[in-house]
Amino acid sequence: MNRIGYVFLYICLGIVAVFQIFPIIWLFLFSLKSNQEIFAGSPFALPKEWLWENYAKVWEGGIGLYFFNSVWITALAIIFTALLASMATFAITRMQWKLDKFVLGLFMVGLMIPIHSAIIPLFNMFLSVNLIDNPWSIVLTYTAYNLPITMMILLGFYYTLPREIEEAAIIDGCSVHRMFFRIILPMTAPVLSTIVIINMIYNWNEFVFVNTFISSDEYKTLTVGIQNFIGQYMTDWGAIGATLIISLLPILAAFIFFSNKVVEGISSSAVKG
């Protein structure tokens, strides 16, 4: 009976995996077709002519610059978010001060605010400090909006850390800052992997903030740059598919690389006590 149960489980998981992987395979085949073949043929058919030049076309059309912008803006926002959230969570959970619960509540209020409801106030604020059409407006926005969910993930893990570690470090003459960077922060590596994936998915795919705050092509990211292949009278759908495949690759690579760490991080942050 146990063997039958395992077989049934793996069959179910295999079916789910097929449904998860199929859209990526379909998009890959879509990216290698011409407009005529996309609309005239079956959407599930293999390309009659494999148009690999669609990838060269989009790269020469500026996708390389947009890809680079997405990489460094996403990476910088993740670093700032992980570092600031770790510091704030450490101060709230491991230090004793009067307003720790109140400050934690202020951070958690950010979870209840719709992300794009503050576009107009943010635009006015960035305009007043000359950060419109500046990539730093995107980095700061991503960092601020990802702090609450990042701290919520970190809270469960920080509460489980034994106090004896900190006491031993203090006895050995370790300062608070050195204890955080040399002892506590490395111990949170599994949770940080989960944070990296969650923040990367949001930052990499975000569209509205970039479209609102950035107007120059030199600072646009992939999600906004893809509009260059959408024309008023003619749209190159194969090139759009190639762009989407290129934009998927970093997410897939990061998830494959961090997959074990993500599961470990979610498990460790979910246990308290």
Q: What is the pLDDT of residues 164-197, one digit of tens each?
A: 888 888 888 888 888 888 888 888 888 888 888 8
Which pLDDT band, with edges at 50, 70 and 90, does 270 fall under?
very low
What is the CATH topology of the domain spanning 60-270? MetI-like fold (1.10.3720)
Indicate whether 198 pLDDT > 80. yes
130's tokens: 């000359």
**60-74 pLDDT, tens per residue?**
777 888 899 999 999
Alpha-carbon torsion 100, 104, 107, 112, what sign? negative
Comparing 228 with 225, which gets the higher pLDDT? 225
Q: CA 123 → CA 73, 115, 129, 177, distances in Å?
A: 18, 14, 10, 35
Specify whether the CB–CB gap between 47 and 264 falls below 8 A.
Answer: no
CB 194 within 8 A of CB 261: yes
Q: What does pLDDT average to over the chain?
A: 84
Listed by start position, the domains of the chain span 60-270
pLDDT higher than threshold 50 for residue 272: no
- Cβ neighbours of 144 (radius 10 Å): 16
Q: What pLDDT was estimated at residue 1? A: 60
| pLDDT greater than 90 at residue 142 | yes
Q: Is the pLDDT of residue 269 over 60?
A: no
Please compute the mean of the pLDDT values over residues 213-240 and round it to a whole number.
78
Q: What pLDDT does residue 88 have? A: 92
pLDDT digits (tens, 9 = 90+) for 14-59: 999 888 888 888 889 888 888 888 887 777 788 888 888 888 888 8
Residues in the chain: 273
From the list 38, 93, 81, 97, the residue with the least C-alpha distance to 242 is 38
